[in-house]
Chain A
Amino acid sequence: NAGVTQTPKFRILKIGQSMTLQCTQDMNHNYMYWYRQDPGMGLKLIYYSVGAGITDKGEVPNGYNVSRSTTEDFPLRLELAAPSQTSVYFCASSSPRQGWETQYFGPGTRLLVL
């Protein structure tokens, strides 16, 4: 049982490049979330999903897209990378059966946009 996994762990992008951050969970959780954490700050919600085929915007969705075709996967897409997107990205999941409110996090992806 791996929990929540994220790839890659670290990536450097040039301005204007695109990439997809991968997130997979094997706990059969309905809810999944993407956060970004800027230095010295708390987490800000980018997008979330309450189940396959359903996604919704969080607090800071601009510049990102998501999809949820399966329960397990919740990729985050950056289409035109900007320096302001330099951050650490965390994926999380939760389940109403275990208390939806308790979110379990992946190890994070550190992204640097130059």
Chain B
Amino acid sequence: AQKVTQAQTEISVVEKEDVTLDCVYETRDTTYYLFWYKQPPSGELVFLIRRNSFDEQNEISGRYSWNFQKSTSSFNFTITASQVVDSAVYFCALSEEVDSNYQLIWGVGTKLIIKP
């Protein structure tokens, strides 16, 4: 069965430290998508990135970077020089095809606390 594991339930670092959030997935599909979403304390869910299974290039967006490795079924997220505003719960998700429709399978989230 499709599955997303975020083993780190909570991470706490001091501002300006780098931090990596881990995401490991399981899927039978050859074509799939992986996602990261951010949920700040205000509660909304903010889309950060989508990566398809054929594109293993790392992506960088400002202080955020993502490392996708099919060999280890991982899609890790790194924040460089963390800031207090990065404090949030971060969710990793995997697309799943169900009866020709598509759904997302979600990890339980990693709560990231950035201390000033």
A-chain residues with CB within 8 Å of residue B106 when the two chains form the complex: 42-44
Contacting pair B101 A102 (CB below 8 A): no
Q: Whose C-beta in chain A lies nearest to the C-beta of B9?
A: A40
Task: Give the contacts of A59-110 with B (CB-CB under 8 A).
Answer: 88, 90, 92, 99-108, 110
Q: Bits for B57-87, please: 1 = Cβ < 8 Å to A, else 0.
A: 0000000000000000000000000000000
- Measured between C-beta atoms, what is the minimum distance from A111 to chain B in Å? 13
A-chain residues with CB within 8 Å of residue B109 when the two chains form the complex: 40-42
Q: How large is the interface on A (under 10, 10 to 19, 20 to 34, 35 or more residues)?
A: 20 to 34
Q: List 17 A-B contacts (CB under 8 A).
A: A40-B9, A40-B109, A41-B109, A42-B106, A43-B91, A43-B106, A45-B103, A45-B104, A48-B103, A56-B101, A99-B50, A100-B102, A103-B47, A105-B37, A105-B44, A105-B47, A110-B43
Where the two chains meet, the residues of A that have a C-beta atom closer than 8 Å to any C-beta of B are: 33, 40-45, 48, 50, 56, 58, 88, 90, 92, 99-108, 110
The yes or no answer to B45 lying at the interface (CB within 8 A) is yes
B-chain residues with CB within 8 Å of residue A42 when the two chains form the complex: 4, 91, 106-109
Q: Give the 9 A-B residue pairs with the shortest CB-CB distance, closest first.
A: A42-B106, A105-B45, A101-B33, A42-B108, A43-B106, A101-B95, A107-B44, A102-B50, A108-B43
